[in-house]
Structure 1
Amino acid sequence: MYTIGQVASFLGVSRDTLKYYEEKELVKPKHDAENGYRKYNAYDIHDVITTNFYRELDFEIKKIQEIRQSKSVADLEHVLTQQEAKILEEIAYKKHLLEKVKSVKEDYYKVKEYLGKFTVTEMKPLEVKGEITGYAAYEEYETIRNNTDSLKKAVTLMSASRVIDFDEEGMKANRFIVVRNIEDTDKDIEGEVLAHPKCIYTVIEDGRFVNGEKDIDHEVGDSLLKIAKENGYELIGKAYINILLTTYEETLERVFLEMYAPIK
């Protein structure tokens, strides 16, 4: 017979874990009638090892209890198949999450490189999945939810793009569209496709930290016209603005936006 301390030591588990297993009736050591100390025999130790085995496979305690309540080999195969499917789903989710993190890091590098600067580049193809009247049109966010690649299927504004029409006199119109990136392997494209091989690309900052609640629309058009004039580009009078990152300073948000302005 072994004490709880001895079992904890040679099995590499804590006393609290052993007590928890006992509470869940996964192991049932005898208690000394005189001093109340737990006494573990070889079968008890085997029960702890078996429980550890299933915990290692990421089975929940409730599922281990079900297995312990009598599962045939055939039943166990079904349980293991279910767990395999669950783990594969989690792996796929983690891979998707990793790609998201990498994408946000790329956005950070865009901010670092192009804030207040510009280059000429392609705006990669986007499929238009819907339209909303504005970022504050909360009742319309179902359009975003239904057409987003958000991991949690919650509303984020990363898939919403603002489209501005302007000329030398200023902004003429603007709208908000819900878009998704088109991959090379995409075959089933239902919505309008936006693609521009040459655009002025820059990153600008908005948000209450730098602008209070001031409207910067006129600044967007003015800055594009200035860049185009100084470098001999002919704009088509349209700009696409996407949110890259939002962070906070002195409790006020700093919003970094990327802007594509197609040129002829």
Structure 2
Amino acid sequence: MYTIGQVANFLGVSRDTLKFYEEKELVKPKQNIENGYRKYSHLDIYDITTVNFYREIDIEIKKIQELRKSKSIDGIQSLLEEKEQEVLLEIEYKKLLLKKIQIVKEDCKNIKQFLGEYIVKEMKPLEIKGEIEHFTAYEEYDTLKKNAESLKKAVTLTSLRRVIHFNEKGIIEDKFIIVRKVEGTDEEIEGEILSHPKCIYTIIEDGRWSTGGENIDQHVEANLRKLAIEKGYELLGQVYINLLLTTYEDGLERVFLEIYAPIK
């Protein structure tokens, strides 16, 4: 017979884990009524290593409790197949998560490279999934949740594009569309595809830290028009604005926006 300390040392588990197994009736060591000390037999130790085996492949305690009562080989196989599907789904989720992280890392790199700079760049295809009046139209967020590329189905603003239509007199239309990046040629596309082979591209900083809360639309428009005149570009009367990243400085938000202005 062995003490709880000895068993914990043998098996490399904590005393709390052994007590937890006991609470869940996965192991039933003998207990001295007078001093409350537990004594573990070699059969108890075997039970613990069996529980550890199933925990190592992440089988839930509740499932192990069921298994302890009775489980045929077919039943165990079914349990493992269920766990296998759960793990495969988790792997797919982690792949998507990794991709999201890599995209944000690339966005950080682009901010450092193109902040305040102007180049000509393609706006890659986007599928239009829906539209909301404004990012403050909270009652329309159900549409955003339904159509946005959010891993946890939570509201984020990164799937929104602000679209400004303008002419020489000023802004004609200002709206927000929900989009999805189109990757590959074999995807099933349901919505309208939006793309422009040539755009004036830049990244600007918005947010209270840099602007004091002032609207910078006119400043951005003036810079685009000035550059178009200098380079001999013809603006097509549209600007697409994408939220790349939000961070904070002295408690005030710093917002980095990606600008695409299609040209001929």
TM over 0.5: yes
Counterpart position of 1:208? 208
Counterpart position of 1:57? 57
| In 2: Cα distance, 1:107 partner to 1:186 partner | 26
| In 2: Cα distance, 1:184 partner to 1:214 partner | 40
- Segments of 5+ residues of structure 2 without an aligned counterpart are none
CA-CA distance at 1:160 after TM superposition: 0.6
- Segments of 5+ residues of structure 1 without an aligned counterpart are none
Change (3 A) 1:36 1:96: same
Q: Which amino acid aligns with 2:238?
A: K
Q: Secondary structure at the match of 2:179?
A: strand
Whether the 8 Å CA contact 1:166–1:221 is kept in 2: the answer is: no
How big is each residue's C-alpha offset from its partner over 1:63-85, in whole Å with a ceiling of 9 and x where there is no partner?
11111111111111111110111
| In 1: Cα distance, 2:108 partner to 2:196 partner | 23
| In 1: Cα distance, 2:130 partner to 2:35 partner | 72
How big is each residue's C-alpha offset from its partner over 1:156-194, in whole Å with a ceiling of 9 and x where there is no partner?
111110011223443332111111111113442222211
Q: Which amino acid aligns with 1:72?
A: S
| In 2: Cα distance, 1:131 partner to 1:31 partner | 67
Q: How many residues were matched structurally?
A: 264
Write out aligned runs for 1:1-264 (5 A).
1-264=1-264
Q: Which amino acid aligns with 1:115?
A: L
Whether the 8 Å CA contact 1:170–1:221 is kept in 2: the answer is: no
Q: Which amino acid aligns with 1:19?
A: K
Q: Secondary structure at the match of 2:9?
A: helix
CA-CA distance at 1:39 after TM superposition: 0.6
| In 2: Cα distance, 1:149 partner to 1:216 partner | 28
The sequence identity of aligned pairs, in percent, is: 62
CA RMSD of aligned residues (A): 1.3
Q: Secondary structure at the match of 2:108?
A: helix
How big is each residue's C-alpha offset from its partner over 1:67-118, in whole Å with a ceiling of 9 and x where there is no partner?
1111111111111110111111111111110101001111111111111112
How big is each residue's C-alpha offset from its partner over 1:185-232, in whole Å with a ceiling of 9 and x where there is no partner?
344222221111111110011111122332211112111112212222
Q: Secondary structure at the match of 1:195?
A: strand
Where does structure 1 differ by over 3 angstroms across 4 or more consecutive aligned residues?
167-170
